[in-house]
Structure formats: structure tokens, C-alpha cells
Amino acid sequence: MSDGQSVEADKGGGLPLAAGRQAVPATVLLWAVAGAVVVADQVTKAWALSALGDGARLPVVGDVLGLVLVRNSGAAFSLAAGYTWVLSLVAVAVIVAIVRASRRLASTWWALVLGLVLGGAAGNLLDRLVRPPGPLRGHVVDFIDYGGYFVGNVADIAIVVAAVGLLVLTLGGRDRDGTRQRPAGAAGGREGQA
């Protein structure tokens, strides 16, 4: 490449099923991960609504980790409270962007990370669409209390894990198409030698 970069194929285009069979396409992995996150998120939120009373904290690991039911009209750390409709539109934009990007997805790792983001965004968007006070204004159910600093849910965990994964993939030079960008001369370490 002319910009001093070489491209190396990433063997992580899909998950192997068994000897002699084709790999699971990255898009299938993305949708499976996203679906699993949405199901886990919604099931745990339903449990929290039925098992936890508003405001009563149930300690899990002393003061460090607990369970408490909170209906959050904002984003993480209750930021943007009162702007639920804006957060809903941002979630829709993220979902659309990931769906569009998934068409060119060939990397297993990118599929995993984008599946986590998609599932997390969709899980919290579902709350904003169907929970009171109404569509695009609904409050997200949060119930995992991190030592009084903030309260989150399974969708939030998926988004945070995905953010770390995105950072690792980006810093590692891995592209969505399954290639890996490397500085020129780093591919084999012997370029230019006779």
C-alpha cells in the first residue's frame, strides 16, 4: 500500500463448526450475540421488576455490588435525564449503522463486539419504546448497583465490554473486513533482505 501500511488477512472470518465444515459467517455471529444480549437484558429486567422493590438495596458483595431497582430516564450515570427521546434516536442511529456495517463484516472479533453494542443498544431502546411514561420517553430499568456510583443493567455491561473490545481492535489495527493493518516492513521482518 502507498501509505506505508501492508494488509494482512485475519484468519478470524468466522467460527469453525467442525472439521471439514464451513465457518459460521460473521454476520450470523453478530445477530446471535445481539439476540442473546437482548434476551438476557429483558429477562433480567423482568426479574428485577418483579423481585426488587423501588429503592430497597439488596447487597450482593457488601457495599461494592448490590441490586436496587431504578427507572432511569437518562443515559449512563443518569446523564441527559429528560432527553429520553434524544437518547432513543441515538440508539436507533447506532442500530442502523451497525446493521449497515454488518453487510461488509468478515471478522469474528468485530462481529462479537458489534453484536454486543447492537444488543445493548436494542435492549435499552426497547425500554424507551415500551415502558412508561410512553414511546421514546420510557425509562430504562436499571438494577445492578456498583457501590453507589451508578446503577446499570445487562445491556450496559454489553456496551461497556464492547467499548473495550472496540478499543483493542482499533489499536490492534484489525478491520471489520477481516484484514489487519500493519506498518510496512513488519509483515515478515525480512523485506528488503536477500
What is the 3 state secondary structure string of 13-52? Answer: CEECCCCCCCCEEHHHHHHHHHHHHHHHHHHHHHHHHHHC
In a domain, 169, yes or no: yes
Q: Is 142 tagged catalytic?
A: yes
187 domain-assigned: no
Going residue by residue through the chain, which has 194 residues, state the pLDDT in tens, using 9 for 90 and above: 444 444 444 444 555 545 545 567 999 999 999 999 999 999 999 999 999 986 789 999 999 999 999 998 877 656 667 778 888 889 999 999 999 999 889 999 999 999 999 999 999 999 999 999 888 888 999 999 999 899 999 999 999 999 999 999 999 988 877 677 765 555 544 444 43
| Residue 92 burial by Cβ neighbours in a 10 Å radius (0-12, 13-18, 19+) | middle
Alpha helix ranges (H) inside the chain: 26-51, 84-101, 108-130, 154-171
Number of domains in the chain: 1
- Would residue 3 show up in a list of annotated catalytic residues for this protein? no
Domain range enclosing 163: 24-179
The answer to whether 176 touches 110, Cβ cutoff 8 Å, is yes
The number of residues in the chain equals: 194
Question: Torsions phi, psi of 160, nearest 5?
Answer: -65, -45
Flag whether 172 is in a domain: yes
What Cα–Cα distance (Å) separates residue 21 from each residue in 9, 24, 54? 20, 9, 51
Q: Is 144 part of a structural domain of the chain?
A: yes
Q: What is the pTM of this model?
A: 0.80
Choice among 63, 156, 175, 177 that is catalytic: 156
Q: Which of 10, 142, 145, 175 is catalytic?
A: 142
Q: How far apart are CA 1 and CA 7, in angstroms?
A: 8
For 183, phi then psi, to 5°, come to -60, 145
Residue 143 domain flag: yes
Report if residue 9 sits inside a domain. no
